[in-house]
């Protein structure tokens, strides 16, 4: 991953994006990074919870090595240290469980989320067994595509109910069952996000889709819909006002939305 993109992810990416990037890169490269002083791995205070910081790249660990306020003091100061993926799964993480220490993957100054070590073991094992290049997904920009039809996508729940005034995009939600409308791209389903309500209504009418437009705010997209799409291995289809379709990876759209939201907040 290019340095500029790594810096953007480190500053703006939602916590779940940083998490899946971390575990996927460790599973793919067979290497994770911690801060350690000799044999002692640094532990941080994450809002009152003891957690081991874990990164996918050396440069990220190195940039955090001076965070004395959060890291437990050691002498000599901790330095970036590589740990094999299997050692993490079989030795380091079980030791954290025994000592009731959690994991902070790719911690960020204003958005550090801790995860139980058991969950990290489970997810790391998934990515070790079935590698997935999340770094490439983050680097992939949206591109115009042709769709091959539409299909209902079953969802566990429809998430938060947003107000129209907060809509960043619109979904088409089924009237009869917990599902939303997706489109088929290259034989694979993609979650359809419409630029405006009229665009969603026109699509539903033209396709004969029994569904109603549903507003989706930036927060619900980042925290619910895009995470769901990533987990289900769906792409995302962005439907513009003129009816054209652009395909984008869920992790990339989550990053772009978070970046745009942060930049708008900085302007205000």
Tokens of 138: 């983050």
Q: Do residues 173 and 243 both lie within one domain?
A: yes
Does residue 158 register a pLDDT over 60?
yes
Q: Do residues 53 and 21 both lie within one domain?
A: yes
pLDDT at position 51: 94
Residue pair 155/228 in contact by the 8 Å Cβ criterion:
yes
Q: Do residues 240 and 124 both lie within one domain?
A: no
Question: Range of 57's domain?
Answer: 3-138
Tokens of 122: 């489970």
Does residue 72 register a pLDDT over 70?
no
Between 37-41, 66-70, 143-147, 233-237, the lowest mean confidence (pLDDT) is in 66-70
Tokens of 71: 């890291």
Q: Do residues 99 and 179 both lie within one domain?
A: no
pLDDT at position 68: 45
Bridge partners (DSSP) of residue 211 are: 174
Residue 44 DSSP class: E
Domain count, the chain: 2
Could you report the per-residue pLDDT of 88-100, keeping only the tens digit for each?
999 999 999 999 9
Residue pair 170/197 in contact by the 8 Å Cβ criterion:
yes
Where is 235: in which H helix or E strand?
Answer: strand 235-239
Ordered alpha helix ranges (H), the chain: 3-12, 15-29, 58-64, 85-87, 93-98, 117-129, 134-139, 197-207, 218-220, 226-231, 250-267
pLDDT cut 90: percent of the chain above it: 72
Does residue 176 register a pLDDT over 80?
no
Q: Which of 180, 179, 171, 182 is nearest to 149 (CA)?
A: 182
Please provide the distance, in angstroms rounded to a whole number, between the alpha carbons at the two ends of the chain. 31
Instruction: Give the chain's mean pLDDT.
Output: 91
Q: Do residues 261 and 151 both lie within one domain?
A: yes
Q: Do residues 111 and 188 both lie within one domain?
A: no
Domain endpoint, select from 77, 104, 138: 138
Q: Do residues 36 and 156 both lie within one domain?
A: no
Q: Which of 233, 211, 115 is nearest to 158 (CA)?
A: 211
Mean predicted confidence (pLDDT) in 74-81: 79
pLDDT at position 108: 79
Mean predicted confidence (pLDDT) in 225-237: 96
pLDDT at position 71: 57
Domain endpoint, select from 98, 117, 138: 138
Q: Do residues 149 and 134 both lie within one domain?
A: no
Q: Do residues 66 and 152 both lie within one domain?
A: no
Residue pair 32/60 in contact by the 8 Å Cβ criterion:
no
Q: Do residues 133 and 154 both lie within one domain?
A: no
Q: Which residue has the tokens 């779940």?
A: 16
Provide the CATH number for the domain around residue 131.
3.40.1350.90
Domain endpoint, select from 110, 138, 166: 138
Does residue 199 register a pLDDT over 60?
yes
Does residue 178 register a pLDDT over 90?
no
Mean predicted confidence (pLDDT) in 188-207: 94
Residue pair 149/209 in contact by the 8 Å Cβ criterion:
no
- pLDDT band with cut points at 50, 70 and 90 for residue 75: low
- Alpha-carbon distance of 245 to 135, in angstroms, equals 23
Residue pair 103/115 in contact by the 8 Å Cβ criterion:
yes
Q: Tell me how many degrees the CA angle 197-202-203 measures, rounded to the nearest 5.
A: 100
Q: Which residue has the tokens 């708008």?
A: 264
Say how many C-beta atoms besides its own lie within 10 A of residue 152's C-beta: 18
Mean predicted confidence (pLDDT) in 182-207: 94
Q: Do residues 164 and 183 both lie within one domain?
A: yes
Does residue 40 register a pLDDT over 80?
yes
Q: What Å distances lie between residue 171 and 146, 191, 203, 261, CA to CA?
A: 19, 9, 11, 20
Q: Do residues 122 and 158 both lie within one domain?
A: no
Residue pair 96/88 in contact by the 8 Å Cβ criterion:
no
């Amino acid at each position: 991953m290019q340095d500029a993109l790594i810096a953007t992810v480190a500053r703006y990416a939602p916590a779940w994006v940083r998490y899946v990037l971390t575990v996927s890169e460790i599973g793919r490269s067979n290497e994770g990074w911690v801060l350690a002083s000799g044999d002692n791995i640094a532990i941080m205070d994450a809002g009152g919870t003891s957690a081991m910081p874990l990164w996918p790249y050396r440069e990220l660990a190195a940039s955090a090595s001076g965070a004395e306020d959060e890291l437990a003091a050691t002498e000599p100061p901790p330095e970036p240290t590589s740990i094999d993926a299997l050692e993490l799964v079989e030795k380091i993480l079980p030791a954290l469980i025994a000592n009731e220490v959690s994991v902070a993957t790719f911690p960020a100054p204003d958005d550090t989320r801790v995860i139980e070590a058991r969950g990290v073991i489970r997810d790391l094992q998934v990515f070790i067994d079935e590698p997935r290049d999340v770094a490439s997904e983050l680097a992939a920009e949206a591109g115009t595509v042709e769709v091959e039809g539409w299909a209902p996508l079953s969802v566990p729940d429809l998430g938060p109910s947003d107000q129209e005034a907060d809509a960043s995009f619109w979904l088409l939600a089924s009237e009869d069952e917990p599902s939303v409308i997706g489109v088929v791209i290259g034989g694979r389903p993609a979650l359809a996000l419409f630029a405006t309500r009229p665009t969603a209504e026109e699509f539903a009418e033209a396709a004969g889709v029994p569904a109603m437009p549903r507003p989706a705010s930036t927060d619900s997209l980042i925290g619910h819909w895009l995470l769901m799409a990533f987990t289900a291995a769906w792409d995302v289809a962005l439907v513009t006002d003129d009816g054209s379709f652009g395909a984008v990876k869920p992790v990339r759209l989550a990053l772009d939305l978070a970046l745009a939201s942060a930049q708008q907040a900085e302007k205000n």
